[in-house]
Amino acid sequence: MNSSTATSSLSAPLAASKAGSPAATRALIIGVVGLAIGLGGFFMGVSNHEVRPLIGYLIGFGFWFSMLIGMLMLVIMFYLFDAGWPIVVRRQLEHALAAIPMLALAFIPLLLLALGAFGHAAQGMLWQWLDPSQPLIGKPGETIADDPLFVHKAVFLNLPLFLVRVVVYFAVLWGLGSRFRKHSFAMDSKPDVSHVIWCRRFAAVGAFAVPLTLTFAAFDFFMSLSYTWFSTMYGVWFFATSMRCGIAATILICVYQSAKGRPLYGLFNRAHQYLLGCLALTFTVFYAYVTFCQYFLIYNADIPEETFWYNLREMTASWTHNSWWWVSLAIIFCYFFIPFFFLLNYHTKVSRKVLPMVAIWVLCFHILDLYFNIMPGKIADPTSVLGYQVREFTIGWYDVATLIGVGGLCVSAYLRSLGKTEVIPIHDPRIEESLNYHE
């Protein structure tokens, strides 16, 4: 099917905007400055042997990493289900995938840390299992190498395999993202349906490759911070929270770009927004289901190697509620219940004011969810009855700087891509259906 006739009247608004370059440059400058400040905190932490700034850098990276994984999964889903309505939306996601190389760039300091580039003493600061000679917190006289749980997992938790896996993660994400972009953009000048067929083939591969990638990346980057802990639901949690983040970002992009005078004005309609709201509601419920199941299964099994992870997030060594107890309540009520009840309402999903506010709310508490999963840990304290204290919830300037810095690089990549193609895939076989879609 050739849809060029149906879209010929839209040629003016579909012309690629070349005015995005100054905005992209500004975003790049903000990104470089923010990342430089974040790296300042990172190197300060390395030199002072303080792990907290390193955790802040990982959180800043993890936010944008999860967002782009969510967006990539949306592209895969749209192609797999051969959906007609999201063709207009899909092009915005394809532009966003241009930021994946920026994520690889932002991960380099963490990779150098793992390689021991800042000295052997710093190698195991973030991921302790990288230096098994470290003392075992809470067990005087023992090292990580003496821990039976580490010995059992050492086949997986070792530097060579970690490096191989990191390369595979970014190769899969970058490779699939670039293939989708190449074939989708090629259709703008060459209306050949074979490009769509290729994208569907890549989506079929990506439906297996990306979930495996995000699962093992969540294991390596986040779960292995507490290497003795394990959860079969952790990869599914990361998928669910990444989808929520990716959908929220997509809503904000599409609503902004469809304002009067913007490229998607008159193309992204109420029906498109409604279905994005429905997707947001779907993954809100799915996230709650997965998170509750993880907690319930661990609570029910009552295995010390699993329950300690939640104990750290509920109690101090003196058995009083710590700051993470209140963070967990905020996640329950603000990351689930409030968005859930708002998204149940039809008018929320079609409102150009309310739905973006819900999306911003979700993104803010997604960051809090990352704090909850990444930051808590044991800090050696010989005066404590347990031999350690729990690292409490704090927000550091280096956290915010890294978040803004990596975000600036990602936004710059998106804006630069935006000016190189048509606003929507004008020759996609189902573009007519997307443009005319209604509730």
- What is the pLDDT at residue 176? 98
Q: Is residue 89 over pLDDT 80?
A: yes
Give 241-261 pLDDT, tens digit per residue: 999 999 999 999 999 999 998
- What is the pLDDT at residue 141? 83
- What is the pLDDT at residue 369? 98
Q: What is the pTM of this model?
A: 0.94
With bands split at pLDDT 50, 70 and 90, how would you rate the model's confidence at 317? Answer: low
Give 114-141 pLDDT, tens digit per residue: 999 999 889 999 999 999 999 988 788 8
With bands split at pLDDT 50, 70 and 90, how would you rate the model's confidence at 7? Answer: very low
Q: Is residue 19 over pLDDT 50?
A: no
Q: Is residue 229 over pLDDT 50?
A: yes
* 3 state SS for the chain: CCCHHHHHHHHHHHCCCCCHHHHHHHHHHHHHHHHHHHHHHHHHHHHHCCCHHHHHHHHHHHHHHHHHHHHHHHHHHHHHCCCCCCHHHHHHHHHHHHHHHHHHHHHHHHHHHHHCCCCHHHHCCCCHHHCCCCECCCCCCCEHHHCHHHHHHCCCCCHHHHHHHHHHHHHHHHHHHHHHHHHHHHHHHCCCCHHHHHHHHHHHHHHHHHHHHHHHHHHHHCHHHHCCCCCCCHHHHHHHHHHHHHHHHHHHHHHHHCCCCCCCCCCCCHHHHHHHHHHHHHHHHHHHHHHHHHHHHHHHHCCHHHHHHHHHCCECCCCCECHHHHHHHHHHHHHHHHHHHHHHCHHHHHCCCHHHHHHHHHHHHHHHHHHHHHCCCEEECCCCCCCEEECCCCCCHHHHHHHHHHHHHHHHHHHHHHCCCCCCCCCCCCHHHHHCCCC
Average pLDDT over residues 339-346: 97
- What is the pLDDT at residue 10? 47
